[in-house]
Amino acid sequence: MALVTSTEMFKKAYEGGYAIGAFNVNNMEIVQGITEACKEEKAPVILQVSKGARAYANHTYLVKLVEAAVIECPEIPVVLHLDHGPDFETCKSCIDGGFTSVMIDGSSKSFEDNIALTKQVVEYAHAHGVVVEGELGTLAGIEDEVKVSAEDSSYTRPEEVEEFVSRTGVDSLAIAIGTSHGAYKFKPGTKPQLRFDILEEVSRRLPGFPIVLHGSSSVPQNYVEMINANGGKMPGAIGVPEEQLRKAASLSVCKINIDSDLRLAMTGTIRQFFNEHPDKFDPREYLKPARANIKELVRHKLVDVLGCAGKA
Ligand code: G3H
Ligand code: 13P
Ligand code: ZN
């Protein structure tokens, strides 16, 4: 199957009460780990590329890696998505350069400026057969170089969503209900809790419309412990409880973004490898177990959290 847009995927996910995993890709091993798990579990998948990923690996390399995965996994639908598009030009470059989906992140702008920018991207994207994700509400954490403090973050205001969607024409909407980017999402000792009341009110106002959750890594404690036991220092790293993501997936959330968990699996595995094998220096030897652990982590998400295994 060639690259597809997320339209059909989201429709089925909404009706089926599950979500599609949107995993960030930055290099070959990450693309392979994710797509091998999706192929084996027969799961549709969104591979997403941030501005930082394009700066690191180069647009063409990333597109070609994803195209290679599509050839290797012909039985599953794959979306190539721009994560957190910062401006019209970046979105246009991805639309012109083979992406099937883009996010325009105008969440830090005023409501009117967010609408104007999102509408401009939607018009160009739709004219080229590409779908668009917009965002209302601000998540805490770090995206590319931008750090948003917990005080400056804000939940999505449900009373704004209908106007935003109808005036922009976006195909999906990312909302802020208490998730945040990175590995430190909740203060140690506090109870992590997403605002399902906001999600439910948004869904009531936008029936049948696909909702997106960013900042949805669960920060697996086995990898945090592996990192800390092998020279790392990540005290108090806490993520979103997986039961809450499962519940969101059963409601109107059709896309769940996961990046930090992949980073933790890769970093923990490599740290442990070097600690156990200080004499080794062949990158293939430490990237191979890192890729294998990414694959098992993604398999777990598909089967136990997102509910999209077997839905390809
Ligand atoms: O939301 C941000 C994603 O985790 C991508 O992170 O900007 O460091 O590539 P990045
Ligand atoms: P995490 O940092 O929770 O993995 O979030 C990733 C994300 O939202 C990418 O857009
Ligand atoms: Zn994000």
pLDDT 10s digits, 35-76: 999 999 999 999 999 999 999 999 999 999 999 999 999 999
Residue type, 284: R
Whether 276 maps to a domain, the answer reads: yes
- Rg of the chain in Å (alpha carbons): 18
Q: Is residue 2 part of a domain?
A: no
- Quick check: is 83 catalytic? yes
Q: How much is the pLDDT for 190? A: 93
Q: Length of the chain in residues, anyone?
A: 312
Residue closest to 227 by CA, chosen among 187, 178, 266: 266
* Integer angstrom CA distances of residue 154 from 91, 134, 177, 201: 25, 16, 9, 16
- The minimum-distance atom of ligand 2 relative to the CA of 179 is 3
For residue 147, the CA-to-ligand 3 centroid distance in Å is 12
User: Looking at residue 150, what is its pLDDT?
Assistant: 72
Q: Which domain holds residue 132?
A: 7-306
With a 6 A CB cut-off, is 257 part of the ligand 2 pocket? yes
* pLDDT tens per residue, range 250-272: 999 999 999 999 999 999 999 99
Q: What local confidence, expressed as pLDDT, does residue 145 receive?
A: 64
Q: DSSP E strands: which ranges in 16-97?
A: 20-24, 45-50, 78-85
For residue 1, is it within any domain? no
Whether residue 238 lies inside any domain: the answer is yes
C-alpha 233 to ligand 3 mean position (Å): 24
Write out the chain's pLDDT in tens, 312 residues.
789 999 999 999 999 999 999 999 999 999 999 999 999 999 999 999 999 999 999 999 999 999 999 999 999 999 999 999 999 999 999 999 999 999 999 999 999 999 999 999 999 999 999 999 999 999 877 766 667 777 677 999 999 999 999 999 999 999 999 999 999 999 999 999 999 999 999 999 999 999 999 999 999 999 999 999 999 999 999 999 999 999 999 999 999 999 999 999 999 999 999 999 999 999 999 999 999 999 999 999 999 999 999 999
Instruction: In whole angstroms, give the CA distance from residue 258 to residue 147.
Output: 18
Q: Is residue 157 part of a domain?
A: yes
Interatomic CA distance for residues 29 and 190, integer angstroms? 35
What are the DSSP E strand ranges found in 15-130?
20-24, 45-50, 78-85, 101-104
Q: Which residues contact 20 (CB under 8 A, 6 or more apart)?
A: 6, 9, 10, 13, 44, 45, 46, 79, 254, 255, 256, 306, 308
Whether 311 maps to a domain, the answer reads no
Domain assignment present for residue 21? The answer is yes
Residue whose CA is at the smallest distance from ligand 1 atom 9:
52
Domain count within the chain: 1
Ligand index nearest the alpha carbon of residue 62:
1
CATH code for position 13? 3.20.20.70
CA 144 to ligand 1 center in whole angstroms: 5
Ligand lying nearest the CA atom of residue 53: 1
Cβ neighbours for 17, distance < 8 A, ≥ 6 positions apart: 249, 250, 251, 307
CB-based neighbours (< 5 A) of ligand 3, an ion: 214
312 assigned to some structural domain: no
pTM for the full predicted model: 0.97
